[in-house]
Amino acid sequence: MAAPHTERFVLLVDDEEVVLEVFRRTFKERHGFLLDPTNNLKDALDKVAVFAYDALILDMAFPEGGDGMEILRAVRYHEMDNYAWRQRLMNEARLLGGGQFVSMPQSHSSAFILTGSITPRDLLLDARAMGIRELIVKPTEFTEPFAHRVIDKISVDLGNA
């Protein structure tokens, strides 16, 4: 019997083309991950409304306005909506006398925020409350070794290390 498909689906949202390109190259070298990159907030919000990602790498700020926290709020909303849907099914099964149950929601997507500057303390607290695993300050020169370190953090967080 073949092993189950275990690739992790990762959303990358950053408006800097160099960041997108370095991550594209780096993810190609790493097995077990599928990268879904985008460079703007609107596309990211459209994607999280449709797909469930195992991990998120989100830029802090976008030139058109908005930030990575807006994307994360949308992801968490969809996760809770999915949980509420399962709870309704479970309650209906109980009312009908069935022995069926609906499992608890899968753990939240691992989320990492990329920032180019020092982040205000209030935003750090919001980030922690929303399940951000780590705020990562982008280096002046974005390189593949840095991208590998970010992917290593994701691997550890998802239990792939």
pLDDT in tens, 99-143: 555 454 444 678 877 777 666 676 777 777 777 877 788 888 889
Structure tokens at 152: 């290593």
Asked if 152 contacts 30 with a C-beta cutoff of 8 angstroms, the reply is no
CA dist 161 and 152 (Å) reads: 7
User: What confidence score (pLDDT) does residue 112 get?
Assistant: 79
Question: What are the φ/ψ torsions at residue 61 (nearest 5 degrees)?
Answer: -135, 150
What does the pLDDT look like over 43-65, one tens digit per residue? Answer: 999 999 988 888 899 988 888 88
CA dist 53 and 34 (Å) reads: 10
Question: What are the φ/ψ torsions at residue 77 (nearest 5 degrees)?
Answer: -60, -45
DSSP state of 67: B
User: What confidence score (pLDDT) does residue 100 get?
Assistant: 52
Asked if 53 contacts 11 with a C-beta cutoff of 8 angstroms, the reply is yes
Name the band, by pLDDT with cuts 50, 70 and 90, for residue 3: very low
Angle at 82 between CA 98 and CA 161, to 5 degrees: 110
Task: Give 17 or 5, the one with higher predicted confidence.
Answer: 17
Task: Give 11 or 79, the one with higher predicted confidence.
Answer: 11
Task: Give the pTM.
Answer: 0.76
Task: Give 4 or 141, the one with higher predicted confidence.
Answer: 141
Q: What is the CATH class of 8-69+109-158?
A: alpha beta
14: helix, coil or strand?
Answer: coil
Per-domain residue ranges of the chain = 8-69+109-158
Report which residue type is found at 43.
D
